[in-house]
């Protein structure tokens, strides 16, 4: 089953340049695609959609672009929280919030409080990095060991999973990157250990429900072996 999809939404700037417009126009168009793709995920029975909205490295971008991105994030939270709730979607924001303004932090808290649907989950990764996620989880485990809330012999992969930002969510099944680049750019490093990877040449503002369906069809055409042989997997399939 395909329960959890994550997307690296790449290509907003390049799309804007091709249109002869400012980069913020591409980012605004990219926000519109979130609605399309979320709807397509729900139509396909996907429980969780995780979006890479702003990486920990994106702070290196020009200050005006960063300010514009923060503004778009704020506007999205204020405008969409109630709609998400009405549609049965739970909103979850993951990442390091230390550099966000108080205004944005309040908007995140408010949106997460409002959007607590039970039918699907939208995860927005903002000021997120996979290395940060792993290091942060290790720090929390070390703190629990130091306080004697945890025994060092209890530490294993299953326990570590409870300390990363996606704790409690289904394992990541499919990781999509738009924009033609063939890398995952420090996104969900722990979670992507056995995820299927799919790379689309479409820029994010061009990626719609039809494009998502192609990615899902490709996913279903693959055999996920998890270290086993193909024959073993086929024998486990009912009716094989």
Chunk the chain into consecutive blocks of 10 residues (it has 240) and report each block's average pLDDT, rounded to whole numbers: 96 96 94 95 97 96 94 97 98 97 98 98 98 98 97 97 98 98 98 98 97 97 71 61
Q: Which residues are catalytic?
A: 10, 58
Output the pLDDT for position 232. Answer: 54
Q: What is the pLDDT of residue 223?
A: 83
Domains, the chain, ordered by start: 4-221 (3.40.1180.10)
What is the token pair recorded at 37?
């793709």
Residues 6+ apart with CB under 8 A from 67: none
Q: Do 134 and 189 contact (CB within 8 A), yes or no? A: yes
Quickly list H helices, 6-62.
12-18, 23-43
Q: In DSSP terms, which residues pair with 5 in a beta bridge?
A: 49, 174
Q: State pTM to two decimals.
A: 0.93
* Furthest CA-CA distance within the chain: 59
């Amino acid at each position: 089953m395909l329960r959890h999809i994550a997307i690296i939404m790449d290509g907003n700037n390049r799309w804007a340049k091709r249109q002869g417009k400012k980069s913020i126009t591409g980012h605004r168009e990219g926000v519109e695609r979130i609605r399309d793709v979320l709807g397509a995920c729900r139509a396909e029975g996907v429980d969780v959609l995780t979006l890479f909205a702003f990486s920990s490295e994106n702070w290196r971008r020009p200050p005006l672009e960063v300010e514009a991105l923060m503004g778009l994030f704020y506007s999205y939270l204020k405008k969409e929280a109630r709609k998400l709730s009405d549609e049965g979607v739970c909103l979850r924001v993951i990442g390091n919030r230390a550099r966000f303004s108080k205004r944005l932090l309040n908007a995140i808290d408010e949106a997460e409080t409002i959007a607590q649907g039970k039918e699907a989950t939208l995860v927005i990764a903002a000021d997120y990095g996979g290395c940060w996620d792993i290091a942060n989880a290790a720090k929390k485990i070390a703190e629990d060991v130091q306080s004697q809330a945890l025994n060092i012999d209890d530490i294993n992969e299953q326990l570590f999973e409870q300390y990363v930002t996606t704790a409690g969510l289904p394992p990541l099944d499919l990781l999509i990157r738009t924009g033609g680049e063939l890398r995952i750019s420090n996104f969900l490093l722990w979670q992507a250990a056995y995820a299927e990877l799919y790379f689309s040449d479409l820029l994010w503002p061009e990626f719609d429900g039809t494009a998502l369906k192609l990615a899902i069809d490709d996913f279903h055409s693959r055999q996920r072996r998890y270290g086993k042989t193909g024959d073993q997997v086929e024998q486990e399939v009912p009716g094989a």
